[in-house]
Amino acid sequence: MPGRGELLIWFLRWSRKNQTGKDSLHQVPPPPLCERGARGDFGWGTRSEERRVCMPRGYDFQRIEAKWQAQWEAAEAFAVREDPARPKYYCLEMYPYPSGKIHMGHVRNYTIGDVVARYLRMRGYNVLHPMGWDAFGFPAENAAFEHGVHPARWTLDNIAYMKSQLKRMGFSYDWAREVTCCLPDYYRWNQWFFLRLLERGLAYRKQSPVNWCDRCQSVLSNEQAEGGVCWRHTETPVAQKELSQWFLRITAYVEELLADGEKLAGWPERVRVMQRNWIGKSVGAEVDFALQRGGSLRIFTTRPDTLCGATFMVLAPEHPLALELSRGTSQAEAVAAFVARMRQTDRSLRTDAAAEKDGVFTGAQAINPLTEEPIPIWVANFVLMEYGTGAIMAVPAHDQRDFEFARKYGLPIRLVIQPDGSDSLDAAPMEAAYEGEGRMVHSGRFDGLASQAGKEAVCDALERQRIGQRAVNYRIRDWLVSRQRYWGTPIPVIYCDACGIVPVPDRDLPVILPPDVEITMSGGSPLARVETFVKTACPRCGGPARRETDTMDTFVDSSWYFLRFTSARETARPVDPAKVGYWMPVDQYIGGIEHAVLHLLYARFFTKVCRDLGLTAVGEPFSNLLTQGMVCKESSRCPEHGYRLPAEVDKAGRCTTCGLPVEVGRTEKMSKSKKNVVDPDELLAEYGADTIRLFSLFAAPPEKDLEWSDDGVQGAFRFLNRIWRLVDERPELLRAAEGKRWSAGQPEEAVRSLRRATHQAIGKVTRDLEDAFHFNTAIAALMELAGALVRFLDQLPPGSAAADGPPDRLLAFAEAVRALVVMLAPFAPHVAEELWESLGESESIFRQRWPEADASLAMEEALEIVVQVNGKVRGRLQVPRGTPEAALRRLALEERRVRQWIEGRTVHKLVVVPDKLINIVAGS
RNA sequence: GCCGAAGUGGCGGAACUGGUAGACGCGCUACGUUCAGGGCGUAGUGGGGGUAUCCCCAUGGGGGUUCGAGUCCCCCCUUCGGCACCA
Domain residue extents for chain A: 282-473, 631-688, 727-858, 862-922
Closest CA to A528 of A217, A105, A771: A217
Is residue A35 pLDDT above 60, yes or no? no
How many Å apart are A433 CA and B23 C1'?
Answer: 53
Kindly report which amino acid residue has its CA closest to the C1' atom of nucleotide B34: A46
Name the nt closest to A913 by C-alpha to C1': B19
Q: Which one of A443-452, A660-669, A795-804, A824-833 scores highest in mean pLDDT?
A: A824-833
How many Å apart are A873 CA and B61 C1'?
Answer: 26
Query: What local confidence, expressed as pLDDT, does residue A10 receive?
Result: 54
Name the nt closest to A876 by C-alpha to C1': B20
Is residue A53 pLDDT above 80, yes or no? no
Kindly report which amino acid residue has its CA closest to the C1' atom of nucleotide B69: A871
Kindly report which amino acid residue has its CA closest to the C1' atom of nucleotide B11: A709
- Percentage of chain A modeled with pLDDT above 70: 92
How many Å apart are A350 CA and B8 C1'?
Answer: 45
Name the nt closest to A920 by C-alpha to C1': B67
How many Å apart are A787 CA and B24 C1'?
Answer: 11
How many Å apart are A319 CA and B17 C1'?
Answer: 59
How many Å apart are A481 CA and B28 C1'?
Answer: 58
Q: Which residues contact A488 (CB under 8 A, 6 or more apart)?
A: A136, A137, A551, A552, A553, A554
Contact status, residue A707 vs residue A713, Cβ threshold 8 Å: no
How many Å apart are A637 CA and B22 C1'?
Answer: 34
Name the nt closest to A358 by C-alpha to C1': B85
Topology (CATH level 3) of domain A282-473 = Isoleucyl-tRNA Synthetase; domain 2 (3.90.740)
Residue type, A911: V
Name the nt closest to A269 by C-alpha to C1': B4
Q: Which residue has the higher pLDDT, A27 or A490?
A: A490
Name the nt closest to A48 by C-alpha to C1': B34
Sign of the alpha-carbon dihedral angle for A710, A716, A719, A723: negative
Name the nt closest to A382 by C-alpha to C1': B85
Is residue A54 pLDDT above 50, yes or no? no
Q: Classify each residue of A352-388 as buried b or exposed e, where b means 16 or more C-beta atoms within 10 Å of its C-beta.
A: eeeeebbbbbbbbbbbbbbbeeebbbbbbbbbebebb
Name the nt closest to A304 by C-alpha to C1': B87
How many Å apart are A824 CA and B12 C1'?
Answer: 21
Residue A269's SS3 state is: helix
Query: What local confidence, expressed as pLDDT, does residue A214 receive?
Result: 87
Summarize pLDDT for A689-735 with one digit per residue, the tens: 999 999 999 999 999 989 888 889 999 999 999 999 988 877 788 88
Summarize pLDDT for A149-184 with one digit per residue, the tens: 999 999 999 999 999 999 999 999 999 999 999 999
How many Å apart are A814 CA and B71 C1'?
Answer: 40
Q: Which residue has the higher pLDDT, A907 or A651?
A: A907
Residue A491's SS3 state is: coil
How many Å apart are A576 CA and B3 C1'?
Answer: 43
How many Å apart are A895 CA and B66 C1'?
Answer: 25
Kindly report which amino acid residue has its CA closest to the C1' atom of nucleotide B54: A897
Q: Which residue has the higher pLDDT, A656 or A744?
A: A744
Summarize pLDDT for A526-549 with one digit per residue, the tens: 999 999 999 999 999 999 999 999
Name the nt closest to A870 by C-alpha to C1': B67
Query: What is the 8-class DSSP label of residue A649?
Result: B
pLDDT band at A12 (very low <50, low <70, confident <90, very high): low
3-state DSSP of A588-624: EEEEEHHHCCCHHHHHHHHHHHHHHCCCCCCCCCECE
CATH number for the region A862-922 comes to 3.10.20.590
Summarize pLDDT for A729-765 with one digit per residue, the tens: 777 888 888 888 888 888 888 899 999 999 999 999 9
Residues in chain A: 924
Is residue A555 pLDDT above 60, yes or no? yes
Q: Which residue has the higher pLDDT, A474 or A883?
A: A474
How many Å apart are A711 CA and B27 C1'?
Answer: 9
User: Which CATH superfamily, name and number, covers A727-858?
Assistant: Isoleucyl-tRNA Synthetase; Domain 1 (1.10.730.10)
Kindly report which amino acid residue has its CA closest to the C1' atom of nucleotide B5: A270
Query: What local confidence, expressed as pLDDT, does residue A707 receive?
Result: 87
Summarize pLDDT for A294-304 with one digit per residue, the tens: 999 999 999 99
For residues A835-843, average pLDDT: 92
pLDDT band at A9 (very low <50, low <70, confident <90, very high): low
How many Å apart are A913 CA and B17 C1'?
Answer: 14
Name the nt closest to A868 by C-alpha to C1': B68
Q: Which residues contact A567 (CB under 8 A, 6 or more apart)?
A: A575, A576, A579, A580
Name the nt closest to A301 by C-alpha to C1': B87
How many Å apart are A771 CA and B16 C1'?
Answer: 12
Is residue A523 pLDDT above 90, yes or no? no
Cα A569 to Cα A90, A224, A354, A519, A643, distances in angstroms: 18, 31, 53, 32, 46
Contact status, residue A191 vs residue A492, Cβ threshold 8 Å: yes
Name the nt closest to A875 by C-alpha to C1': B20
Query: What local confidence, expressed as pLDDT, does residue A287 receive?
Result: 96
Name the nt closest to A386 by C-alpha to C1': B86
Q: Which residue has the higher pLDDT, A803 or A564?
A: A564
Kindly report which amino acid residue has its CA closest to the C1' atom of nucleotide B24: A780
Name the nt closest to A282 by C-alpha to C1': B86
Kindly report which amino acid residue has its CA closest to the C1' atom of nucleotide B80: A705
Q: Which of A27-31, A317-321, A627-631, A827-831 has the lowest mean pLDDT?
A: A27-31
Name the nt closest to A695 by C-alpha to C1': B25
Query: What local confidence, expressed as pLDDT, does residue A454 receive?
Result: 93
How many Å apart are A436 CA and B77 C1'?
Answer: 28
What is the rounded CA–CA span in Å between residue A23 and residue A155? 14
pLDDT band at A37 (very low <50, low <70, confident <90, very high): very low
User: Do A862-922 and A282-473 fall under one CATH topology?
Assistant: no
At A764, give phi and psi (nearest 5°).
Answer: -65, -50
Conformational region of residue A487, where left means phi above 0, alpha means psi within -120 to 50, and beta covers everything else: beta
Sheet holding A126-128, edge to edge: A126-128, A88-93, A588-592, A625-628
How many Å apart are A51 CA and B44 C1'?
Answer: 33
How many Å apart are A660 CA and B30 C1'?
Answer: 35
Query: What is the 8-class DSSP label of residue A308?
Result: G
How many Å apart are A756 CA and B19 C1'?
Answer: 23
What is the rounded CA–CA span in Å between residue A347 and residue A381? 10
How many Å apart are A681 CA and B45 C1'?
Answer: 36
| Positions in chain B where some atom is under 7 Å from a protein CB | 3-5, 11-15, 19-21, 23-27, 33-35, 37-42, 54-56, 67-69, 81-87
Residue A246's SS3 state is: strand
How many Å apart are A419 CA and B76 C1'?
Answer: 27
pLDDT band at A652 (very low <50, low <70, confident <90, very high): low
Summarize pLDDT for A98-124 with one digit per residue, the tens: 999 999 999 999 999 999 999 999 999
Average pLDDT of every residue of chain A = 88
Is residue A42 pLDDT above 50, yes or no? no
Query: What local confidence, expressed as pLDDT, does residue A729 receive?
Result: 79
**Cα A764 from chain centroid?**
27
What is the rounded CA–CA span in Å between residue A573 and residue A563? 12
Kindly report which amino acid residue has its CA closest to the C1' atom of nucleotide B27: A711
Residues in a beta bridge with A869: A872, A920
Is residue A673 pLDDT above 90, yes or no? no
